[in-house]
Structures are given as C-alpha cells and as structure tokens.
Amino acid sequence: MKRSSLRDLTSDPMDVLVIGGGIYGLMTARDAALRGLTVGLVERDDFGGGASHNSLKIMHGGIRYIQHLDIGRLRASAREQAFWQRAAPDLIRPLDFLIPLFGHGVKGPEAFLAAAMLYRLASAGLRGPDYGGAGIVGPSEARRRLGDLAPDALTGGGVWRDGQILDANRLNLACLKGAVGAGARAANHMEAVALRRDGQRVVGARLRDRLTGDEGEVTARVTVSCTGAAARELAEGEGEAWPGFARATNVVVDRPADGAGFGIVSRDRSDAAVDRGGRMYFVTPWQGRTIIGTHEAPAPDGVARDDGDVAPFLREIEIACPALAIRPEDVLWTYQGLIPADVDDGRGGVRRHTRGALIDHRDLEGVPGLISVMGVKYTTARLIAERAIDAAARQIERPVSTSPSLSTPLPPVGLAPVDPDDPAALAARIRSAFEEEMAQTLEDVVLRRTPLAETGALRGQKGAARLSRLEESAASQRGWDAAHRVSQRAALRHALGGVTR
C-alpha cells in the first residue's frame, strides 16, 4: 500500500475528495470507493493520529442510550456493532460489562432490569450472534465479580456485553486498506490548505505535501470534510449548525486486568435524560493493562491535548473507587482529543453529543459541493459515512450505486505484536510499517504502527534503550542523514511528551 503523491491526487478531477483521515474520513473514503466513485483521501498528519487515536476502545451496542431515551440511536448502535464484529473479527472481541446497582430506585436493580428488557426488545434482530441482551445479577454475584473493588451497600449488578477494539490503530489501518483496495487514492501528511471555489460552489482544495513542501490543486465534484474540530474553520462556517467541542481523556494505567469491564459512578452529575445520580466511568481490561475513561473538560481554545486534565480525572476516580488506588505514576499513556459537545458554566458543564453532525452546505447555506462530518463514536462511523456519500451522490451528475459497505468485510491486518527486545523482529515491524502500511515518519511507526508507546513499553531506562533501537533501525532502513535523524527524533520525543520518564 503506497502513499499517493501530490501528482497522483491532482492529475485528474475526482468525484469525491475526503479531507481528514480519522475513522470517519477513512470510512467515508471506503464507502465512496466501494460505490465505484473516484476518490481522494488526504490527512494533514497521520491516519488515525488525531481524535481517533483517543479511544476507550469500546464498540457500543447502544444500551447506554436507554438513559437518553434515544431508541433510534440504540438500534443504529446495535446494528453497527454487529457490522464491526463481522467485518473485523481479528480486531474486535465481545467483552462483558458490569455496573454496581444501589438501593431500589433509579440506581437499583429493578430500574436496570426494566432498561435491560427495553434494550433487548429494541435491539432484537440487530445484535450479532456474539452479543446477548442485558440483565441483572444479585448482590453476592456482583461482589464476587468485582472483588476488592465492590462498593459498600450495592444491591446488585447490571450486566451486558459490548465489543472491544483490541487495537484502534490496527482498525484504522484496516479501514485505510479497505478504502485503498477499493480504488481510493490516499496520502497522509498531505494538508488541505484551503477549499477551492467557483462562485459559491466548492470544487476541491489546495493541497500542500508536508513531506516535500510542494503545493497543487485538486478538483472534485464533492468535497467531504471529516476534519472534526477544524471543519468549521475549513468551511469558513458560521451559525448554530456547528457544534461546540470538549476535550475527552482516557488513560492506560499499569494495572493488570482480566475478564470483564466494569463501571464506577463519579460525583459529577450525569448528562442523561434519566439521571442515575452521577457520570459513569468505565474500567476495561486491555492488553494486560487497564483503560479508564472517559473524562470530559471544556476546551474553549480548541486545544486537543492538555496534561492538566489528568490530575482532576484521577482525583475523580479515587473518590469514586478508592480501591483502584491509581497514582499519577501508574499512568502509562494518555489519550486525548476533541469531541462534539455543548459546554456551559453549570455543574458538569460538558454535555457530550450522542449523535454526530452531518452538514450538507448546499442545503444549509446554498454552498454546493461541500459536506462536513463530525463524528462522536467509532461504532457509527460506517453509518455516518454512508449517509455522507448518499448526500454527495445527490450532487454528482451521474448515477451512483447504493452502498455495499455494510456487507463488505475489512481486509484482515491482525494485531502485529512486536518484541521490542528482539532486534530482528523490531526491524521487520519497522520495515513493514514503512513499506506496507504507509508510515512516513518515525512518529507514525512508533505511535501508530506499534503498541509500544500505549502499553508503557517505552517508559524508564529500559524504554529509553528500546526507543534508541527503534530510532537507529528506522534511520538505517530509510537511509536518513544526520539532520533528518535529528528532526525525526525531535518530533517523536515531542509527541511522546513525558512518557519515557
């Protein structure tokens, strides 16, 4: 799989230009290509390197939308969860969850059982064969499953099954391969500097290759902006159709975990229509470690990463579940990214959106040729992509087939684990990342073509030695001169922040 050059992208007009290579951009390019459209996909940095890198790694089946009384969203999530399990069985696994229940009111087992029955009824025929319904267990069984983490006075447990993404970076890669395999031309480190216009109509974009500095213009019948928080600026948009954004944080902590995930109730108020008394955080096992999330904070300045969010998040977890005993030094990796949300000054002032935004600028502003997409979950990325290309098809002046994306599996890519202390295995993984997976920089390889940073393998003195071997092997394979080595190392160390300490 080779990166498309600027010339590849600009040589001929295309039907659809997709800007932004997160999960929504990847799935949009895939959907368009599967319909036989000519497609270009460009990403300013690396595929999946922005908000899509920030993930609790859960494919939600929709049970949480009972709280929001959103049955449509529930049904869509159940169907899409089943799609992902079929399409990428090497990267998605079923995972059982349990939340503690208290008393006999809205937080109790009776209320949860009613919600579980409604969920089973609403999602009947949509859930995959590996995903049952939901129900309750008694207090003794709930305490047995939670062990030392069981809170006092629980009266039962609510149980259900969701999907877990074993490696979000590999899932992004599978989606990229699916798009390219269907005919899309794709390039990372290719920036859309500005949209091109012919009167009111958007007719493509001006691109800058960030690896070479070259610029060129691409012509497209429809441009789909999947650039998240940057979509408004790119479209030069105003008005109420644009959502606000908050910064979401998930952390990987050095706690071995097996079996099920579980929920803990924080002191922050929930944003659900049926308020169970506090915001729910989830603690999930992942690669022999634990992921905890999701914490949300206002981001009025649009900054996607702020280490200052971690300390209050950990304090909230400590109050909600002291038995976890998470210390700052236990944090192996911090995921952060901007998500659509309403932000106000009240208690629990972030109210995350449960639905993504799809803006057809022809209908909204009389600007044909531009569609903006802002997603909220991995789970519904395929569905929103299909709707975006349905909207694009209405502006393309020739017949466009319906989407086959729901029935088309993703190319298998596997987890590709690597032993950082095996020089030959490490060199092979680096070579594959550059030659077969469109990695262009050292940061691409270390952060998104291996799990080493996320799993804490680059921490401390041992991690620093591994990182040096990574750098040396990559530089040797790519023939980097001394100056290029220095710049690649500096960019990687900046991206890693304090993780190697």
Whole-number Å distance between alpha carbons of 135 and 114: 9
pLDDT tens, position by position, 191-239: 999 999 999 999 999 999 999 999 999 999 999 999 999 999 999 876 6
Residue 342 pairs in a beta bridge with 351
CA angle at residue 374 from 349 to 387, to 5 degrees? 135
State the chain's mean pLDDT as an integer: 92
Judge whether residue 451 has pLDDT over 90. Answer: yes
- Average pLDDT of the segment spanning 410-415: 96
Residue 443, pLDDT above cutoff 50 = yes
Structure-model confidence comparison of residues 356 and 155, the more confident one: 155
pLDDT at 345 over 50: no
Give residues with Cβ within 8 angstroms of 8, minimum separation 6. 185, 187
How is residue 56 annotated by DSSP? Answer: -
Token digits for 43? 């990403």
Confidence of residue 366 (pLDDT cuts 50, 70, 90): very high
The DSSP symbol for 438 reads: -
72's CB contacts (< 8 A; 6+ apart) are none
Query: Strands 215-225 and 92-102, how do they pair?
Result: unpaired
Which position has the token pair 């001169």?
481
At 279, the pLDDT band (50, 70, 90 cuts) reads: confident
pLDDT band at 273 (very low <50, low <70, confident <90, very high): very low
Which helix or strand (DSSP H or E) is residue 354 part of? none
Q: Measured between alpha carbons, how far is 41 from 176 in angstroms, rounded to an integer? A: 9
Distance in angstroms (rounded) separating the CA atoms of residues 242 and 498: 34
CB 428 within 8 A of CB 434: no
Question: Is residue 446 helix, strand or coil?
Answer: helix
DSSP secondary-structure letter at 444?
Answer: I
DSSP 8-state code for residue 312: H
Q: Which residue has the tokens 């105003």?
A: 238
Q: What is the pLDDT of residue 241?
A: 75
Is residue 439 over pLDDT 90? yes
Q: Tokens 């699916």 belong to which residue? A: 178
Peptide bond into 227 cis (omega under 30): no
Task: Determine the pLDDT at residue 426.
Answer: 96
Helix (H) or strand (E) holding 158: strand 154-165
Q: Which two tokens stand for residue 118?
A: 């409604």
Statement: residue 280 has pLDDT above 90: no
* C-alpha separations of 238 from 192, 365, 470 in Å: 20, 10, 45
pLDDT over 90 at 121, yes or no = yes
**How does DSSP classify residue 68?**
T
Provide the phi-psi class of 156: left if phi over 0, else alpha when psi is between -120 and 50, else beta. Answer: left
Instruction: Supply 235's token pair.
Output: 């479209």
pLDDT score of 346: 47
- Band the pLDDT of 302: cuts 50, 70, 90: confident
- Region 422-429: mean pLDDT is 96
Residue partners of 14: CB distance under 8 A and separation at least 6: 37, 38, 39, 40, 185, 218, 219, 220, 221
Average pLDDT over residues 88-94: 97
pLDDT band per the 50, 70, 90 thresholds, residue 97: very high
- The backbone torsions φ and ψ at residue 323, rounded to the nearest 5 degrees and listed phi first, read -65, -20
Given this model, what pLDDT does residue 300 score?
Answer: 82
The one-letter amino acid at 11: S
**215-225/370-374 β-pairing:** parallel
Quote the pLDDT of residue 276: 42
- CB of 343 closer than 8 Å to CB of 300: yes
**Collapsed DSSP state (helix, strand, coil) of residue 335:** strand
Closest CA to 352 of 241, 226, 245: 245
Least confident stretch, 5-9, 90-94, 121-125, 352-356: 352-356
For 12-67, what is each residue's pLDDT tens digit?
A: 999 999 999 999 999 999 999 999 999 999 999 999 999 999 989 999 999 989 98
With residue 222 as reference, give the H or E element that holds it.
strand 215-225
**Strands 39-42 and 58-59, bridge-based pairing:** unpaired
Question: Average pLDDT of 113-132?
Answer: 94
Q: What is the pLDDT of residue 401?
A: 96
Strand pairing category for 39-42 and 185-187: parallel
Is residue 130 within 8 A of residue 27, CB to CB? The reply is no
Model pLDDT, residue 254:
95
Start-to-end C-alpha separation, the chain? 35
Q: Which helix (H) or strand (E) segment is 128 a member of?
A: none
